[in-house]
Amino acid sequence: MRVLRVIAYALAAILILFLAVAFFLPSTFSVEGSAVIAAPADQVYAKYATPRTWARWSAWTTEGDPTLVYAYSGPDSGVGAVMSWTAKKMGNGQLEIVEAVPGQTLRYELAMAGSDMKVHGRVVFEPVAEGTKVTWTDSGTLGKNVLLRYLGPVLDRAMKAAYQKSFANLQREAKGG
């Protein structure tokens, strides 16, 4: 009986410590990745500005989650274009383009269903000798749930890997493959 009490106290202490540490973790995040794509800025910009093309080149495809289903609303491209999705593994969400300057920059807002986490995305297109330097940044808040703050470091690694996969796919498309 005494051993069980000690175990219960130890587990309670670990849980309290886990929660206490969460309060000191950042409640915001910012992730950035960049690559040079061998294509003109207008061509690369068009891929980002047209949500209907994301399923061909982005890291978020049915390859990673076979239950992923996209739906689109608003204009096909630019400000007001909306991409919504449902997926068992990735969750449900929506991305809306809120600013679009052809060949230069694009901003979007992303929300995940069932969470108050908000993501503000920005993609900058810079012509360079080899094509277009694309700088992709996602930032936002992790919401009111302090336990989500543990996602910060995981989110950073996962997003950077997703950017690199997306850049590689864009590079393949630019080469006609």
92 close to 85: Cβ distance less than 8 angstroms: yes
- Which one, of 58, 20, 82, 66, lies nearest residue 172 by Cα? 58
Task: Give the whole-angstrom CA distance, residue 11 versus residue 154.
Answer: 25
Q: How far apart are CA 96 and CA 108, in angstroms?
A: 5
pTM as predicted: 0.83
Query: Domains (ranges, CATH) in the chain?
Result: 27-174 (3.30.530.20)
pLDDT of residue 168: 96
More confident residue, 152 or 137: 137
| Range from 3-12, 39-48, 86-95 carrying the lowest mean pLDDT | 3-12
pLDDT at 177 exceeding the cut of 70: no
- Tokens representing residue 32 in the block: 């950035």
Would you say 140 and 119 are in contact if contact means Cβ atoms under 8 Å apart? Answer: yes
pLDDT in tens, 155-176: 888 899 999 999 999 999 887 7
